[in-house]
Each structure stands twice: as C-alpha cells, then as structure tokens.
Amino acid sequence: MHTLVQALKWLVDGSHWSGFDGIPVRTLEHVEISVAAVAIAAAVAIPLGLFIGHTRRFQFLAVSVANVGRSIPSFGILSIAYVIVLKVAPGFAFGFVPTVTALVLLGIPPILTNTYVGVQNVDADTVEAARGMGMSERQVLLGLEVPMATRLMMAGIRTSSVTVVATATLSALIGGGTLGRYIVDGFAQSDNPKLVAGSILVAVLAILTELILGRVDRVLAPRTASRGAWARRRLGRQAA
C-alpha cells in the first residue's frame, strides 16, 4: 500500500505537471499518436469494408485480415516497424512514425470486419427492393447500407481505439514519448512510485477512451435507428 500512496503523491506533485516530460505533454503525445492512427486506420478500413460488403467480392480478404489481425503480437509489429524505419529513414525512427505505422496496422482489422459485416447484414430483400425502386448503387450504399451499418462501424472504431491507446504505451519501449515513458523510465530507474503512477495514468486514459466513445455511440444510436426506420418506411417493408 505504501507504494500506492507514494504513486498518488507523485501524481499530485506540481513539478510533474510541467515541462517536456510533464503529464500534460505526455498525455497530449499519447492522444495525438492515437488519434492519428485511428483516423488513418478508419480512412483505409471503412472504404475497403464498404467495398467488400457492397460488392461481396474479395470476402476472403476481410476474413483473413480479421484472423491474422488477432494473432499479431502488438509489441512485435511495433518493433518491426521501428527497425524498418530505422533502416529507411533513421531521422524518423524515434516515436511518432514507427508507432503510428504499427498502430494503423493493429487498428484496421476491427474496423474492417465490422464495416463489412454491418453492410453484409443489411437484409438482401431490402437492398433488392431499393434497386427495384430505381436507386443507383451509390444511393443504395450511402442511403441504405451505410446508415444501417453505422452502429457496428462505431463499435469497430471503439474497439480499435481502445487497442490503439493501449498499444501506444509501448511506444516508450522504442524511444517514443507517450504516457508509457513513465512506466519504462520508472522501470529503468527502479522508481516504483513513478512506475505505478504512469500505469494509473495509462489505465485512466484507456478507460476514458472506452467510456467517451461509448457515449458517442449512444448519442448517434437514436439518429441511426430512425434513419434505418426511415429507410424501411421509404421502401415500405420491414427489414429483418
């Protein structure tokens, strides 16, 4: 318990809240890296998932990405990205570039899987009816499939974000910033209060990510539900 009390004291110590190694700077680094990674992952995974779900082509690709994605050791891919960047562009090797590269690869599978499954799950009869009413492929995708897949897509982005925030911590092991810095440094310096305080900060950030995105999901939910209902009304039939 002694260590825990010291860790809490470390957290409220004013000197740990300023400077380049201060909690605000490290938190910002952590959030920046995570936001960049999730944004790039979504920019790649959502269009790809929509394409596979809508056309039903290359489905094996979505399945393989889902299976292999789960098996990749996050620490391994981060280290490989680090070594590659170190070889190709040594100036960028510390922190941001290799971390974001690895995090994008880890962030893609959940978003891709959920987007694809979400689109694919839209009732086939409903899609057929929409086509029968003269909606173009573009209208079917944007007006029907995307709104109905939004909830699952959001769940994918949430899962992806929590994974990314958690893994961004490991960036400190390859010389990057982020809140993981306190854990790795605390470890190297045998500074237990710093180590535990860093762990608390990282855990709080991950839990906050989960909670905030859960809230966003609930705010979006009624709108998408009514849009789904709107689509069904417009098509005059009940989707499964």
Partner 1 sequence: MNGLVAAPPTSWEWIWDHRDTIGQLFVQHVQLTAIAVAIGLAISIPLSLLAYRYGVTYAPITWFTGLLYTIPSLALFAALTPFTGLSVKTAEIGLVSYTLLILVRNIVVGLRSVPDDVKEAARGMGYTRRQLLWRVEFPLAMPAIAAGIRVATVSTIGLITVAALIGKGGLGQLIVEGLRILYPTEILTGALASLVFALAADALLLWAERALTPWTRVRVRAFVPPRPVGR
In this structure, which long-range contacts are made by residues 7-13, counting pairs with CB atoms below 8 Å and at least 24 apart in sequence? 7/192, 7/193, 7/194, 7/195, 7/196, 7/197, 7/200, 8/197, 9/193, 10/193, 10/194, 10/196, 10/197, 11/197, 11/200, 11/201
Q: Compare residues 25 and 72 and give the one whose CB is closer to partner 1.
A: 72
> Minimum Å distance from CB 18 to partner 1?
23
Q: Residue 189, interface with partner 1 (CB under 8 A)?
A: no
Q: Tokens for 68, please give them.
A: 């292999």
Q: Residue 150, interface with partner 1 (CB under 8 A)?
A: no
Q: Give Cα separations from 52 to 30, 60, 69, 71, 110 (angstroms).
A: 32, 10, 17, 22, 15
> Minimum Å distance from CB 233 to partner 1?
26
DSSP label of 90: G
Query: First-to-last CA distance in the chain?
Result: 54
The number of angstroms, rounded, from the C-alpha of 172 to the middle of its chain's C-alpha atoms is 19
> Minimum Å distance from CB 145 to partner 1?
15
Count of chain residues binding partner 1 (CB under 8 A) = 57
Q: Compare residues 110 and 228 and give the one whose CB is closer to partner 1.
A: 110
- x/- track of binding to partner 1 for residues 63-82 (CB under 8 A): x--xxx-xxxxxxxx-xx-x
Cβ neighbours of 230 (radius 10 Å): 13
Among 152, 231, 235, 239, binds partner 1 (CB under 8 A): 152
Among 140, 170, 231, 235, binds partner 1 (CB under 8 A): 170
Q: Residue 87, interface with partner 1 (CB under 8 A)?
A: yes
Per-position DSSP letters for 159-173, written without gaps between them: HHHHHHHHHHGGGGG
Q: Residue 95, interface with partner 1 (CB under 8 A)?
A: no
> Minimum Å distance from CB 103 to partner 1?
13
* Listed residue (110, 86, 76, 99) closest to 179, CA to CA: 99
Choices 39-47, 114-122, 133-141, 219-227; region in contact with partner 1 by CB under 8 A: 114-122
What is the identity of the amino acid at 96? F
Choices 33-41, 136-144, 188-196, 220-228; region in contact with partner 1 by CB under 8 A: 188-196
Q: Which residue has the tokens 């809240």?
A: 17
Q: Compare residues 28 and 207 and give the one whose CB is closer to partner 1.
A: 207
Residues at the site binding partner 1, with contacts judged by CB under 8 A = 3, 59, 62-63, 66-68, 70-77, 79-80, 82-83, 86-87, 110, 113-114, 116-118, 120, 152, 155-156, 158-159, 162, 165-167, 169-170, 173-174, 180, 183-184, 186-187, 192, 195-196, 198-200, 202-203, 206-207, 210
